[in-house]
Amino acid sequence: MVRANGQRTTRELKDDLVRARRGVDPRREARERMASLAHAAGGHLDPVERAVLEAVFVHGHTCAELARLRGTPGYPPALGDASRRTQATSEARRLRRLLGRVVDRVLSPEFVYVANLVGASGLPAPPGWSSTRRRVANAIFLRGLSVRAAARELGLSQHVVRLHSDAVRAMADAARAAHARMGGAA
C-alpha cells in the first residue's frame, strides 16, 4: 500500500526484498497484475484510455515511446531543436498523467463495484437502481467525468449528480465491508 505522501511502508519494502531474493521481481508482478486489470476493465474504458493501458502494461511500452508512436511531428528532434523536443516531452508527460488518472480510476473500489454490477446484471440498470443513478455511475465512476461535466452531459443539476454519486460510493463501501466481514470469500 502506498501512503498518502507516496512512500511505501517498511513491511512492503521488506516483502519486495524477500520476493527479489526468491527471484520474483515486484515491478514485473505489478505490471502483470495491471495487465490483467487492463483486460478486465477494458470494456468499460474509452478506447484511447484502453489503448494506453494495454500499450504500457501488456506490451511494455513507456509513455515516451507512445509519444513517439503517436507520430509527434519531427520526432526524433534534431539537435538544438528545443521546440520539438519540448513538444515530445510534453506529449509523454500528458500520456503519463492520463495513465495515472486511468489507473487510479480503475483501481478505485467504486469502479470495481459499478463495473461488476453493470457487467454481471447485463440489464439496463442494476436491480434497485434508477436509470438516472445508472447514468451518473457510468459517467462518474466508469468514464471518470467530474461532477460538473457529468451534470452538463446528462442534463442534470450538480446537486442531483452529487447525491447519486454519493449513494453509489456508500453502496460500494457497504459491499466492501460485507466482503471483508465474510473473510474476503467470493
Q: Which domains does the chain have, with CATH numbers?
A: 14-107 (no CATH), 110-181 (1.10.10)
113: pLDDT strictly greater than 60: yes
- The pTM is what? 0.69
95: pLDDT strictly greater than 60: yes
Which residues are bridge partners to 8 per DSSP?
A: 2
C-alpha cell at 170: 456508500
**pLDDT higher at 38 or 113:** 113
- Average pLDDT of the chain, as a whole number: 78
C-alpha cell at 162: 452529487
**15-19, 21-25, 111-115: the lowest-pLDDT one:** 21-25
152: pLDDT strictly greater than 60: yes
Burial of 77 per CB tally in 10 Å (0-12, 13-18, 19+): middle
